[in-house]
Structures are given as C-alpha cells and as structure tokens.
A and B are shown apart, each in its own frame.
Chain A
Amino acid sequence: MTATRRGRGPDAQARPHGGPSRWSRFWFSAGSPTPLGVFRALFALCLVFEVETGLEMNVFALPGGYHLPYASFVPAVPEAAYRALHLGQLPFIALLAVGLLARTSCGMLLAMQGWLFFADRLEFRNHPWFFLLVLLLLALSPCGEGFSLRSRLRSWRGISPARAVPLTAQRLIQVQVSLVYLFAGLHKLNASFLGGHVLSHHLATGLGSGLSGRFLRGAVGEPTLASWIEVLREPDRLMAASIASAGLELFLAFALWWRPSRPLAIAAGLAFHLAIGLAMNVFAFSLAMLASYVLFRNGPRVADRPFGGRAT
C-alpha cells in the first residue's frame, strides 16, 4: 500500500506524511461484516447454554442470606422476577442469532445479565463476565450487517448490503479473547497449577459428572471410569498436562493473530476447549471462545485497508 493511497484515509490529517499509523489502521479500518455476523450468530447459541447455567448459579442475586454487593444502588433480584429475568433473555438471544434488531437485543441482554451479575460480588464468574464484555462490544458494533436476516430483508427491498463496516468493535473482541488467554495462562504459572493440583481436583470431580460422566459410564462402564478418576487424583500424573495447558493458553494469546500459526492455533484451541467442555462441563464459555476464532479469519491483512476503503 503506497503512502499516497494511505493518504486518502480519514487519518491522513493526523499523519500528513505517512498516512494512518499502524495503530489507526489496526483499530479503525473497514472490512467485511460477515465474520462478525457469523460470530454474533454462534455467540447467541452460547448464550442459550448460559441461560440454563445462570438459572442454577445466579442465586446470589436473590435476597436472603449473606450478600456482598458491588454498590448499594443495585437491588437484589426479586424472587418472582428471577426466572423471568433468565427466560426473558431467550427472545433477544433468538433475535441476536438471526441478526434482527441485533444491537437492541445486545442492549437488552446486557441489562438483564448485568443486573444478575452485578447484584452481588459473590456472583462473580469469569464466563458471564466475558459474555457481558462481548455483549457490550457487539452492541457498539455493526454486528447485524452481515450474515443476518436484516441484511437479507434489506437486499429483498433492493437496498444493497454493507460491503465494508468499521472493524473497531471486532478488533476489541479479538483483543479481548487474546487477553483472556494471556492472563489465564499467566495466572497458571504457579506451583498449585503447574504441580497438577488444580487439574487433578477439577478432572477428578468433573469427569464423572454431567455430560462426560453419562457418556463415559455408558462407554466404558462404572468400574473403569472409577479407576480413571482414581488415577486423576494423583497430581503428579497431571503435571505435564498442566504445563502444556498453561503453555497452550499463552500460545493461543498470540498465535491466532498470525496467518502461519493460525491453523495450528485453531486446531489446538479446538482440542483444548472441547476437552475443557467435556471433562469440566464448561460448555458455553468454551464454545464462545471457539466461535471467536471466526473473527481472526481476516486478521491483520484487512486492517491494512484504511477505513472507507473497499473490502473484499
């Protein structure tokens, strides 16, 4: 890309001699709306799983018992509204999935999930926190422009769909995913995790329960499953897996960005998240992280185009 061509972008004034900075090209370029649209639809499916989990887990939002509120102005969720606040998310999740009133739906979901989440500090879980951040960024993005019923309806009415949209919010979601991997990996660099204690505890308790437990009982029988769980109770046996797991998260934080390492990162991430989902029953978050890989499809190369340039 030549300096002259860069100079046509909106940042030309900021850098009259060199066109937009790398920073501006990264954050404020335009690109195809399709990856974000596909991510929006997949992310909506993950939210369905979270509604079910939330019904069971968000009980600190209810009155009664000990509470540790973030702020006094966030009231507890009335018992009568608790179920409605969860199930009421489903219509908006459906709209988000098909891409109709997508940003309005994000706003509604943000409000409903936000109330449940911020009602009490004991409520905190990383996974809903990630979902809230993604919902915020989707609400500020043109996520309904691609792979959506909205764009389809517009094209039926003769309005040509947007070919290029600002990628700023998409970039923020990508960076957010990398930050999750980076800090999750860095937090694991301690004796408790690397010594196999954490994996031992969670695998020994998670493997025999939930979907994986039902599947394994059927596949190998109760005695074999029990013997596997007994093996998992020994932390030393999980040291190598623990080191690999922390290393993989650090690898994924960077490897998704570069074209040469991306196929390996996607394959490794797929195996990693499926294993977490099955062995530790963490499905919604695992699927959401996997869904985000779609966003890396047109990574930095599209970002080279200044905003307003033609996307391909």
Chain B
Amino acid sequence: MPQTRQGFAAPVLGPGRVSRIFVVGYLLVQIALPLRSLLRDPLDSPGDFGWTMYSDLVRCSMAYVRVGTDGSDMGIDPRGLLNRPSRIARVLRRDRLPHFHAWLCESGGPVYADVRCAVVPAEPRRLTDPDVDLCTAPDRGGRP
C-alpha cells in the first residue's frame, strides 16, 4: 500500500489515492457486514462478522433419523459429526442447514429431521419439516 515515505523505510497507509480508496472500502465493509447481521433473524444466520458477541441466547432441540434400506430408523447425533460438538449451534441456522443436510445425504437417505430453535425467551420455531425427506427436498432444508 503505497503512499508515504517520510522517514520510514516501507510504504504505509497515508495521504494518497490508494489509501483513500482503502479507507473508504474498509469502512464500507466494516459497516455493511454488521448492519446485515443486525437486520437478520438470529435463526437465519449466526451473524458472522457482525460483532454479535453474546447478544442472544439460542437454544435448539434436534432429532435426525436416517431410514435404512430395510426400512429401519437409525438416529443420527449431529454433534458427533463435528470436530467440536459444542459448536453445533453454528450449524443449526436456516442458511446453513441445506449445506449440512446435503452432506448428511451423501452417506445415504432418506433423512428426516426435526430441528427447533428458540431465541430465549421466545417460543421455539421449527427450522425443518419433519415429514419431508431432506435428501429429496429441493432446498435440502425442508423448510416448514
């Protein structure tokens, strides 16, 4: 980043065209990202890059079932599929579930899920339709 050489060896941000563009771009990004997160439902997205630190408490319950070829149900614990089970709340958001379900379905289907989350103290809301096979649902999310 190009700009001033006033007694220091390497160029740093200073008064110059590229610096000015950088400052404006940086500010726009750093305002737009949190604003987007501020305007979204916490159950839609975990609000990454939004400085949401400890701003709400989301509690979820979940039941995942894979139906075998013989018709038997086999429960799946999504927490056990993560490198860090306690981070499951970062998966249980509307914008992330389709990707997670698509990944689950790579191991075979049909898969059914009943995921309910609440921003405490609000009532839980369903994030999936428990009667829809996630592997054949068009959006993989099975939104109710």
A residues with CB within 8 A of B: 10-11, 24, 27-28, 30, 57, 59-60, 62, 64-66, 68, 103, 121-122, 124, 126, 129, 133, 137, 140-142, 145, 162, 164-166, 168-169, 172, 175-176, 179-180, 183-184, 186-188, 190-193, 195, 197-199, 201-202, 235, 280, 307-308
Q: Give A177 to B119 CA distance when docked, in angstroms.
A: 27
Q: How far is the CB of A66 from chain B (nearest CB, A)?
A: 5
Residues of B within 8 A of A24 (CB): 15
Q: Which residues of B contact A124 (CB under 8 A)?
A: 46, 48-49, 90
Are B6 and A162 touching (Cβ within 8 A)? yes
B87 contacts across to A, CB distance below 8 A? 60, 122
B12, A169: Cβ atoms under 8 Å? yes
Q: Does B61 contact A (CB under 8 A)?
A: no
Q: How far is the CB of A195 from chain B (nearest CB, A)?
A: 6
Quick check: B81 and A65 within 8 Å, CB to CB?
A: yes
**B23 — nearest CB in chain A belongs to which residue?**
A27
Q: Which residues of A contact B26 (CB under 8 A)?
A: 172
B46 neighbours in A (Cβ, 8 Å): 124
Q: A124-B90, A184-B53 known; A191 and B12 CB under 8 Å?
A: no
Per DSSP, are chain B's interface residues mostly helix, strand or loop, or mixed? loop
Is B74 part of the binding interface, using a Cβ–Cβ cutoff of 8 Å? no
A126 vs B20: C-alpha distance in the bound complex, in angstroms?
27
- Interface of A, secondary structure class, is helix
B1: A residues at CB distance < 8 A: 140
- Can you name 8 extra interface pairs (CB under 8 A) apart from A60-B84, A122-B82, A133-B30? A59-B83, A66-B78, A166-B4, A168-B12, A172-B13, A172-B26, A186-B38, A198-B57
Q: Is the CB of A168 within 8 A of B19?
A: yes
Which residue of the partner chain B has the closest CB to A159?
B7
CA distance A121 to B87 in the complex (A): 11
Residue contact B13 to A141, C-beta cutoff 8 Å = yes
Shortest Cβ distance from B66 into chain A, in angstroms?
A: 15
CA distance A146 to B84 in the complex (A): 41
Contact check: which of B3, B38, B57 meets A166 at CB < 8 Å?
B3
Check A166 against B13 for contact (C-beta < 8 Å). Answer: yes
Chain B residues, CB < 8 A from A179 = 30-31, 34, 51
Residues of A within 8 A of B14 (CB): 28, 166, 168, 307
Neighbouring B residues of A192 by C-beta, 8 Å: 55-57, 119-122
**What separation, in Å, do the CA atoms of A88 and B140 have in the docked complex?**
41
Interface string of B47-87 (1 = CB under 8 A from A): 11111111111000000000000000000001001111001
With CB as the reference atom, state the residue of chain A lying closest to B15: A28
- Chain B residues with CB under 8 Å of A59's CB are 83-84
> Which positions in B face A, CB cutoff 8 Å?
1, 3-4, 6-8, 10, 12-15, 19-20, 22-23, 26-27, 30-31, 34, 37-38, 46-57, 78, 81-84, 87, 90-91, 96, 99-100, 103, 119-122
Residues A190 and B55 in contact, CB atoms below 8 Å apart: yes
B residues within 8 A CB of A10? 15
Q: Which chain B residue lies CB-closest to A189?
A: B55
Expressed in whole angstroms, the Cα–Cα distance for A183 and B26 within the complex equals 16
The answer to whether B56 and A193 touch across the interface, beta carbons within 8 angstroms, is yes
> Within the complex, which residue of B8, B20, B51, B54 is in contact with A198, where a contact is CB–CB below 8 Å?
B54
Judging by beta carbons under 8 Å apart, are A129 and B49 in contact? Answer: yes
- A127 nearest in chain B by CB position: B53
A162-B7, A187-B51 known; A195-B121 Cβ under 8 A = yes
Q: Is the CB of A68 within 8 A of B8?
A: no
- Give the Cβ gap from B12 to chain A, nearest Cβ, in Å: 5
Q: A133–B51 Cα gap in the complex (Å)?
A: 13
Closest CB of chain B to A15's CB: distance in Å?
13
Residues of A within 8 A of B6 (CB): 30, 162, 164-166, 308
Please tell me which one of the listed residues B12, B27, B52 contacts residue A142 in the complex, with CB atoms under 8 A apart: B12
Would you call B38 and A187 a contact (CB within 8 A)? yes
Partner of A141, one of B12, B55, B57, B119: B12
Nearest residue (CB) in B for A176 is B30
**Are the C-beta atoms of B53 and A169 separated by less than 8 Å?**
no
Neighbour of B83 across the interface among A28, A60, A188, A199, CB < 8 A: A60
Contact status of A187 and B55, CB under 8 A, knowing A122-B90, A124-B46: yes
A27 to B50, CA, bound (A): 24
